[in-house]
Amino acid sequence: MTLDLQTAAEFLWKEADMLDRRDYEAWQGLWTEDGLYIVPIERDAEDYADVLNYAYDDAKMRDMRVRRLNSSFSMSALTASNTVRTISRFVVLDRSASEITVRGAQMLADYRRDNLRMLAADVEATIRQTDDGLKLVRKVVTLVNCEDAVTGMGYLL
Amino acid sequence: MTTLIEPRPETPNISSLVQHDRVHTSLYNDPALFAQEMDKIFNKTWVWVAHESDIKGPGDYISTYVGLQPVIVVRDRKKQVHVLLNRCRHRAATVCEKKKGRTNSFVCPYHGWGYGLDGSLRGVPMNEGYAESFDKAEYGLVSLRVETYAGLIFATFNEDAPSLSDFLGDAKPWIDLFMKQGGGFPVKFGGEHKFKFPGNWKIQLENTTDAYHFPVVHKSFLQSLDDQAEELFSFLDGDGYVQDLGNGHSVMVMIPELVDLDENLDDPIPERFQDLAASLSKKHTEEEVRKIIRAVGGSGFNVNLFPNLACSMAFFRVLRPVSVTETEIRHVTLLMDGGPEEGNRARLRLHEHFQGPMGFGSPDDAEAWERVQRGSQAGPDMWIMLNRGLEGDGAGPKGTNRGDVSAETGMRAAYQKWKEMMEASQ
């Protein structure tokens, strides 16, 4: 069965729901061991490994990040915003026998201490069919204001 | 009769607001004080604007601020650096809105006045519409005084300010030590995390000379480290210290064995850098590897330069006051210019680990600072206490103030300079 856009969209909707509910343990299970989660500062960098990012997470760093957010020792995570996000406007960028890469638009509303903030982003995701089901191989979340001041968030994009 | 217009608030009596061991809460939230700070501090002293590597070649520029005023920092064809007010002399439009780039000139988008890289006015469209007495030489972009130390470019509006060298004074040797983290290569700009927090700039100024908060605010960061690194960052019970360096500057030494990165090169390579060392060994001698590894980990101290820069462990912390209750912070990462790719990647990943809106450290700092600003609305006549480590005052070399690593010595130094500048007559 080749992966189609509908399958990718349903996977990313499930992921978005997990992140809004801050079910980070379940989110961890969505990734392949070689998966990369990237939130860039620079648009269109040739290789994100060679530039500064907001997040450039391999499996080890993702694990540390989730443990921190769940630890109850981080003030910013304990007082994190409530978020509601939606992801749509999908286009297929690439497709092979076992993988599909899509780009979508994510609109996230974040509410905290009387402040409502909107964070818009392009999301590029590569999803792989494995023996364990569908897994994320790469997710790049490029905020519309990534090159400007971005204020801290105690949650995941 | 009812008075419709409130009388102007009296000018606050500065000397009553800053005592030796405490400052008044209004320093965080009085708009009148903020206006005076911009005038008497940011428009009067040396303000850091750029690192040399930001503008390496002729025509390279960045746009930034001195206090509230937008400026352009640009290198001309003769390699000289100019800091120019980003305001057309005609009707005030900014002549540059890009954050960085390379150009031959700055042209105002409104009526097309064109300026050279040194700020001189070169072209005025339909010049014949001006009187004969119109002299282009009188209409160059306003140029600030510029001086450089160890790659750090500072500017000031004040022609009477002491030399930058005198201004930095005893902070200079510490800046020299800080720049050793090029690992034998020049230090270069490697990108930055930028964020704003809803609070006064001095809350941030205090923070880079505040080791006391580290184990509390950054517990979740410490827990993410391996045992060896956690031990290294648990510096409150170590031999570190905070020393007043004069002129509002101070140094906070957290990890004394990481003061001089050229020393202790024979120390065992930390566990977390073993893989990197193995990779570097393919192309570098053992001594080079040890030097690069020491550099990758960064220095063990923060040099706080009043009012807007801290050379902090492995990065620059730059603050920019936006309003009395809003501050922009930049955490600039530094790389080895021409250094090994894997070494620079390691530095980038270490920076991302702590800094930025998704770092394991900065968001918790920002939460604490925001809470300070919110809390300072309560008890407007109360004091911000800076009385930790008072017994170290006068106890350092040559009678300087030097307290243990958790002492508030650096904050007291900054606020005494603040008081001196705010009390000065125009």
Structure tokens at B205: 């100024």
Per DSSP, the three-state class of B264 is coil
Q: Minimal CA–CA distance to B89: which of B58, B135, B47, B44?
A: B135
Q: In what order do the strands lie in the sheet with B114-115?
A: B106-107, B114-115, B121-123
Q: How many CB atoms lie within 10 A of CB B124?
A: 18
**Rounded CA separation A2/B50 (Å):** 52
Angle between helices B341-354 and B286-297 (to 10 degrees): 20
**Rounded CA separation B304/A147 (Å):** 26
Tell me which fold the domain A5-143 belongs to: Nuclear Transport Factor 2; Chain: A, (3.10.450)
Q: Minimal CA–CA distance to A41: which of A142, A151, A121?
A: A142
State the pLDDT at residue B188: 97
pLDDT at A44 over 90: no
Structure tokens at B315: 């990065």
pLDDT at A65 over 70: yes
Which burial class, exposed, middle or buried, applies to B378 when counting CB atoms under 10 A from its CB (0-12, 13-18, 19+)? exposed
Under the phi-then-psi rule, with left for phi > 0, alpha for psi from -120 to 50, and beta for the rest, what region is B340?
Answer: beta
Tell me whether residues B221 and A56 touch, CB distance under 8 A. Answer: no
Tell me whether residues A41 and B190 touch, CB distance under 8 A. Answer: no
Which residues does B403 contact at the CB level (< 8 Å), separation at least 6?
B241, B242, B388, B389, B390, B391, B392, B393, B395, B409
Per DSSP, the three-state class of B159 is coil
| pLDDT in 10s for each residue of chain B, 426 residues | 455 665 545 566 898 999 999 999 999 999 999 999 999 999 999 999 999 999 999 999 999 999 999 999 999 999 999 999 999 999 999 999 999 999 999 999 999 999 999 999 999 999 999 999 999 999 999 999 999 999 999 999 999 999 999 999 999 999 999 999 999 999 999 999 999 999 999 999 999 999 999 999 999 899 999 888 888 888 998 999 999 999 999 999 999 999 999 998 988 999 999 999 999 999 999 999 999 999 999 999 999 999 999 999 999 999 999 999 999 999 999 999 999 999 999 999 999 999 999 999 999 999 999 999 999 999 999 999 999 999 999 999 999 999 999 999 999 999 999 999 999 975
**Rounded CA separation B246/A29 (Å):** 54
Counted across chains A and B, CB pairs separated by less than 8 A come out at 94
Which residue among A67, A71, A150 sits closest to B357, beta carbon to beta carbon?
A150
A92: phi then psi, degrees, rounded to nearest 5: -85, 125
Residues in chain A: 157
Residue burial B79-108, b: 16+ Cβ < 10 Å; e: rest: eebbbbbbbbbeeeebbbeeeeeeeeebbb
Tell me whether residues A65 and B360 touch, CB distance under 8 A. Answer: yes
Cα nearest neighbour of B330 on chain A: A149
Residues in chain B: 426
State the ipTM, two decimals: 0.95
**Rounded CA separation B424/B103 (Å):** 40
Q: What does the domain layout of chain A look like in residue ranges?
A: 5-143
Q: Which residues of B touch A77 (CB under 8 A)?
A: 220, 363
Sign of CA dihedral B284, B285, B291, B297: positive
Which residue among A52, A54, A79 sits closest to B357, beta carbon to beta carbon?
A54
Per DSSP, chain A holds a count of helices (H) and strands (E) of: 4, 6
Which residue among A41, A49, A65 sits closest to B345, beta carbon to beta carbon?
A49
Parallel, antiparallel or unpaired: strands A133-143 and A31-40: parallel
Instruction: Tell me the whole-structure pTM to 2 decimals.
Output: 0.94
Looking at residue B203, its amino acid is I
B353 reaches A (C-beta below 8 A): yes
Which residues does A90 contact at the CB level (< 8 Å), separation at least 6?
A5, A8, A9, A12, A102, A103, A104
**Rounded CA separation B143/B157 (Å):** 8
B4 reaches A (C-beta below 8 A): no
Q: Which residues of A touch B358 (CB under 8 A)?
A: 39, 54-55, 152-153, 157
Cα nearest neighbour of B328 on chain A: A149
**Rounded CA separation A48/A41 (Å):** 9
Tell me whether residues B358 and A153 touch, CB distance under 8 A. Answer: yes
B349 reaches A (C-beta below 8 A): yes
**Rounded CA separation B267/A96 (Å):** 50
C-alpha angle B340/B342/B348, rounded to 5°? 105
